[in-house]
Amino acid sequence: MPADEMRDRLIVGLDVPTLAEAEKAVAELGDTVGFYKIGYQLAFAGGLGFAQELVQSGKKVFLDMKLLDIDNTVAKGVENIARMGVTMLTLHAYPKAMRAAVAAAEGSGLCLLGVTVLTSMDEQDLIDAGYEYDPHTLVLRRAEQVRDAGMGGVVCSAAEAEAVRAIVGPDLAVVTPGIRPAGAALGDQKRVMTPAGAIRAGASHLVVARPVVAAADRRAAAETILAEMLTAA
């Protein structure tokens, strides 16, 4: 696979506290990275406006909002997000919310992603939260619900990517956070995989935050990850 195609599969998470830090990271990464994730931390520090600036500059944006609410509220939120021109948006993979979002995003080109089980959660965490399923079983059940709702893809751990890909088929996005290059610290992630391993497992996109944005040389860190991804192509 050409390097520029692989570049579109790497999503760098701008998990930084201020717009100034985000702008600095994007400037340092330059044309090495073309796809960015904006989550709660940056969104509530002016990141939604920054998302539109990135889109206008030719970058792709993954808005990681993990929406979940009553159907009408989800639908109205998705309608406005679709107008922003971002590429991807996350929702928690609850069937009613997903169906409402799909109807609201129809014709927009916005790729809706269902979040299955957070990669910071293990079996005990799910038990504590009142779920009867282990992480793997719950991920697969929600992958089926994502597919049946007509969503654009799934967010799951790379450890579940192969099984999820078998459920959703070849066309849906399988987006995997919790990616750590060989030798990197795990941080608060519990179900992780290397970039090459995730690609081989069936991931369409990899989300990498701290290994890039916290690196002394952000561009070099991103280039290393891309090189690892290319070994799996």
Phi/psi at 77 (5° precision): -65, -45
- Is residue 193 within 8 A of residue 158, CB to CB? The reply is yes
Can you give the residue ranges of every domain in the chain?
A: 3-230
What is the structure's pLDDT at 224? 93
Taking 50 as the pLDDT cut, the residues of the chain under it are 186, 188-189
Q: Is 89 annotated as a binding residue?
A: no
Q: What is the pLDDT of residues 31-62, one digit of tens each?
A: 999 999 999 999 999 999 999 999 999 999 99
What is the structure's pLDDT at 187? 52
Short-list 100, 103, 113, 20, CA closest to 61 = 113
Q: Is 68 annotated as a binding residue?
A: yes
Q: Is 3.30.70.20 the CATH classification of the domain at 3-230?
A: no
The two three-digit tokens of residue 8, written as one number: 């579109």
- pTM across the whole model: 0.92
Active site residue 66: yes
What is the structure's pLDDT at 1? 64
Q: Find where tokens 């290059």 sit.
A: 181
Residues written for the chain: 233
Catalytic residue from among 66, 76, 96, 190: 66
Short-list 115, 116, 91, CA closest to 104 = 91
What is the structure's pLDDT at 4? 79
Q: Is 180 annotated as a binding residue?
A: yes
Q: What is the pLDDT of residues 12-35, one digit of tens each?
A: 999 999 999 999 999 999 999 999
- The dihedral over CA atoms of 214, 219, 220, 224, expressed in degrees to the nearest 10, equals 90
- Is residue 98 within 8 A of residue 73, CB to CB? The reply is no
Q: Is 31 annotated as a binding residue?
A: no
